[in-house]
Amino acid sequence: MKLQGLLKNVSYEVLQGTDNINISNIQYDSRKVTEGSLFVCIVGFNVDGHHYASSAVVNGAKALLVEENIEGINEHITIVKVSNTRKVIAALADRYYNHPSDKFRLIGVTGTNGKTSTTFLTKSILEAYGKKTGIIGTIENRIGDEILKAHRTTPESLDLQELFYNMVERNVNDVVMEVSSHSLDLHRVDACRFDVGVYTNLTLDHLDFHKTMENYRDAKLKLFNMCDTGVINLDDNYASYMIDNSSCKKYLTYGIDNDEADLNAVQLKMDLGGASFKVTYQGTTYAIKLATPGKFSVYNALAAMGGCLALAIPMETIKEGLEKNKGIRGRFQSFASKKGYNVIVDYAHAPDGLLNVLKSMKEFVKGRIITVFGCGGDRDRSKRPVMGEIAGRHSDYCVITSDNPRTEDPLSIVQEVEAGVKGTNCAYETVVDRLKGIHTALAMAKEGDLILIAGKGHEDYQVLRDEIIHFDDAEVVLGYFETERI
């Protein structure tokens, strides 16, 4: 493809060489550059692609796309300058892969909590309707039944458009994807054609990146200026803001505490085996059963319902798809000990997520609630004491431990969380080693107790400084169960 064709409708300046050349592919990682590549220099959080331009040329790059002047590049190499390479690579990738999101229906799900569960529930409904479905998100990416490893919630724009292209090649009808606030701010989804945008909620998280809740809110809002139909949680504090400040052609609302919602859930019932409720839509009431308990699970189901109703899927099929879903790995995943207590492994790593899970557990616990949790390093520090207070107020005992410390001192993180627990009457202890922390909670459990191991959910690793080690909360629990004696 001609470089000047790729750059159609893009404002750019040729600093060196000519744009009348053929490009074999586009890359932003110099290690993946091959003969004839266009190498895009992206300024990242830790790495600046401009520093790798020479390496890209050595590996065969024919042209460089930059947003800063660079020197020392062979005069035969074309250098093109734009104001924002992140923004431009999204447009180039979409054009290079022949606009793949035009060729299927695309549902984007955004919000602080519930994105993963909502996408999987939506997938279940679409498949019950006979559609070959793609899924993109935190746990994994899927093309039909094929599972692909996910490296981030929403891929970089070039990787995303390539994934879309592969989905088109495999005859996917519908794609449902998690759309993170980072991806919206960093232009990863700029070139996507969304049919439906789903909004779950907005609570304290990611302020290390967004700095303020207003910035975080406005990042989420961007999705609803990119889609035809907005599906909005009317119970959320930011619902009216999302509706009033976006440009969707139409909206479908859902809620539990607001009977003005298009989808209104009532008569919620919970136990460890799941949730049941009734939902009213356009004057008809439907009874729904879910494999995962909790009010938050009902919200996720309503969000999935709304997204699928926007695609004109019949309510009877939606009910079938929801009830076929048997739960999601690392999302309120339950394990029963032969000693009579139960363990919940959940991804809750933000204040509202932790609060929702603990409130749900209170609805059916017979004994004590014992909570094992921590907070990630190199992330929003403001939520650490907040999560500590939430855990302390809603648990009978807390074990504060590590959760991906990254480059921070694990003990310092634990102490910041501990400050919040101290303000409650909850008994607790600190165990920096996560394996020992989980074992501590399991060893004290008695019949009827319910243990929550929060923060990592589906993750099978721990990040300790520059080392990634294998660690899976569910594996630890099951391994401990094997050693138990009645």
CATH number reported for the structural domain that contains residue 150 in this entry: 3.40.1190.10
Q: State pLDDT tens for residues 391-441.
A: 999 999 999 999 999 999 999 999 999 999 999 999 999 999 999 999 999
Q: What pLDDT score was predicted for residue 443? A: 97
- Return the half-sphere exposure (C-beta side, CA atoms, 13 A cut-off) of residue 123: 27
**358 and 476 both lie in a single domain:** yes
Q: Determine the 3-state secondary structure of 9 from DSSP.
A: coil
Query: What residues are designated binding site for meso-2,6-diaminopimelate?
Result: 379, 403-406, 455, 459
- The total number of structural domains in the chain stands at 3
Domain end point (choices 296, 324, 352)? 324
Query: What residues are designated binding site?
Result: 30, 111-117, 153-154, 180, 188, 379, 403-406, 455, 459
**74 and 140 both lie in a single domain:** no
Continuous segment of H or E residues that includes residue 277: strand 274-281
pLDDT tens sequence for the chain (486 residues)? 899 999 999 999 999 999 999 999 999 999 999 999 999 999 987 889 999 999 999 999 999 999 999 999 999 999 999 999 999 999 999 999 999 999 999 999 999 999 999 999 999 999 999 999 999 999 999 999 999 999 888 999 999 999 999 999 999 999 999 999 999 999 999 999 999 999 999 987 777 877 898 999 999 999 999 999 999 999 999 999 999 999 999 999 999 999 999 999 999 999 999 999 999 999 999 999 999 999 999 999 999 999 999 999 999 999 999 999 999 999 999 999 999 999 999 999 999 999 999 999 999 999 999 999 999 999 989 999 999 999 999 999 999 999 999 999 999 999 999 999 999 999 999 999 999 999 999 999 999 999 999 999 999 999 999 899 999 999 999 999 999 987
Please, which residues bridge with residue 342 across strands? 336, 450
Domain end point (choices 275, 305, 324)? 324
**44 and 125 both lie in a single domain:** no
**364 and 477 both lie in a single domain:** yes
**286 and 339 both lie in a single domain:** no
CA distance 305 to 300: 9
**421 and 297 both lie in a single domain:** no
Q: What pLDDT score was predicted for residue 156? A: 95
**132 and 70 both lie in a single domain:** no
CA distance 180 to 136: 11
**134 and 252 both lie in a single domain:** yes
> Beta-carbon neighbour count of residue 154 at 10 Å?
26
**84 and 202 both lie in a single domain:** no
Please report how the helices 473-483 and 434-444 are oriented relative to each other, as an axis angle in degrees rounded to 10. Answer: 50
Domain end point (choices 270, 299, 324)? 324
Q: What pLDDT score was predicted for residue 351? A: 94
Domain of 56: which CATH number?
3.40.1390.10
**428 and 452 both lie in a single domain:** yes
**66, 67, 71, 74 alpha-carbon torsion, rounded to 10°:** 20
**108 and 92 both lie in a single domain:** no
- Sign of the dihedral defined by the CA atoms of residues 135, 136, 142, 144, in that order: positive
Q: Distance of CA 277 to CAs 215, 269, 382, 486, Å?
A: 35, 6, 36, 37
The DSSP string of 404-426 is: --BTS-HHHHHHHHHHHHHTSS-
Query: What residues are designated binding site for ATP?
Result: 111-117
Q: What pLDDT score was predicted for residue 208? A: 81
Q: What pLDDT score was predicted for residue 211? A: 86
Please, which residues bridge with residue 16 across strands? 79
**206 and 312 both lie in a single domain:** yes
CA distance 360 to 340: 19
Q: What pLDDT score was predicted for residue 466? A: 84
Q: What pLDDT score was predicted for residue 399? A: 98
Domain range for residue 459?
A: 333-483
